[in-house]
Amino acid sequence: MAAKVGIFAAILLVCAILLPLLASSFPNHRPEFLEHDSSKTDVTIHGDNNNVVHANVNDIAIPSSNYETRNERSLKEKKKSNKNKNKNKKNKKEMKSHKHGFEAFNFEHPLIGGGHHGYSHVFPGYNVDLITEEHEQPEILGGLREGFYQNTCPQAEQIIKNGLIRALQNDSTIAAAIPRLFLHDCFVKGCDGSIFLDTTPSGGKVEKLSPSNGVTVKGFELIDEIKAELEENCPGIVSCSDVLAYLSRDAFVASGLPYYEVSGGRRDGMESRIENVVGNLPLPDDTVDQMIHLFNRKGLNAEDLVVLIGAHSIGVAHCFNFLYRMDTPEKAQMVDPRLGGVMKFTCTSEMSTIAFDATTQYKMDSVFYKQLLMKKGLLESDQVLAQDIRTRGLVQRFSNDEVGWFNKFGVAMNKLGAVEVLTGNQGQIRKQCRAVNL
């Protein structure tokens, strides 16, 4: 019996020694996992028995067989860290540029401002990003560049902006009229200020006399006033075509669009012919095919078309441009019945007008696109964009993404402003916008 007890005790002793050694050789294979935010260096490690250890990511041992994986992680972390730093720098730059762009435009819009200043009161509750980033080097677009007059006439943009401020105090509709003038100039033989000319050396009829222009375009007196002030401060430096480009930007900013940079360097043309207008301007009954073809000829695409048509968020249309739609049952079906009633009631003459966007007539916003989706577009050429498969998606996107539309608008305007421009030694810098220098 004693022998048996001795053997049993020996077995227990052996087990006591061997079992811990075996346990250390075959650990529990529960996988460890990392809670790792790559923007942080601390890593939380969950292991056996839910023990939690905090370590520095650089101190985590990775087997030599995973050397490439470790390097790849390090590079990714470094890249993300640099990206975050650059993003912070970019945000600081944008905030600085934002302040410069809007505080400099401190004035009361007659119908929007109501005693408030800056775009935050036009768009309460919105944090709108700037359309363009601050560039270390001026962007070059079609021979044009930002900051073109920085050395030759540094006060040029301020003079132009001040001219618009004065004009808005007397006529709130000028904000919509100026960009329309810009498009009508650029689409006819390029952005060369030819729409301003009253006469040319050839003596023929000029662009502004075309039925597509005529009484429906205005703003010439404001251009004259600003140009005279520029000539007094910087004689022979700033072109009439550049005045219109900068002034168009300022008109949109005054109406609520975020500030965007405009490239300068255009020179003025010496020709203006009424026959050049035909086939070069969009018409109120154009199809999507016709509009896309026209924009493509000018170096613009279908997206630019839908983006820029959003300028109809402000301004009015004359009744002769849309009332015909109610005379044809097929066309009348594309008009919201309530809008059709307003058309018939308001259009007592062909020259009567209705706001494109009666809800926010003086404010650049996405309401215009929402109205197109409800068949409340005044112009047939606007309304068809909400029906055609090639453009409907863009209309829907911008109706729901106002900031996204803002971001694209300044880019599209600069593309428009680069259409067939004269630069360098081409053309001339007119002393007066209405006449060629002799």
Q: Which residues are annotated as a binding site for substrate?
A: 282
Is residue 254 a contact partner of residue 168, using CB atoms and an 8 Å limit? Answer: yes
- Give strand pairing partners of 422: 267
- Give strand pairing partners of 145: 140, 264
- 46, 54, 135, 184: the catalytic one is 184
Is residue 300 a contact partner of residue 292, using CB atoms and an 8 Å limit? Answer: no
Amino acid at 412: A
Cβ-count burial 156-188 (b if 16+ within 10 Å, e if not): bbebbbebbeebbeeebbbbbbbbbbbbbbbbb
Torsion of CA 179, 129, 167, 107, to 10 degrees: 170
* Residue 363 structure tokens: 């404010």
Q: No. of H helices and E strands in the chain?
A: 15, 8
- Give strand pairing partners of 140: 145
Kind and range of the H or E element at 43? Answer: strand 42-46
Amino acid at 148: F
Binding residues for Ca(2+): 185, 188, 190, 192, 194, 207, 357, 360, 365
Say whether 184 is catalytic. Answer: yes
* Residue 290 structure tokens: 């016709």
Calculate the alpha carbon distances from 344 to 264, 313, 335, 418 in Å.
Answer: 44, 22, 12, 40
Amino acid at 1: M
Binding residues for heme b: 312
Q: How far apart are the first and last CA of the chain?
A: 135
Handedness of CA 231, 237, 239, 244 (dihedral sign): negative
Nearest Cα neighbor of 254 from 193, 168, 137, 159 is: 168
Other CB atoms within a 10 A radius of the CB of residue 297 amount to 12
Torsion of CA 214, 220, 166, 105, to 10 degrees: 90
Nearest Cα neighbor of 350 from 253, 284, 437 is: 284
Active-site amino acid positions = 184
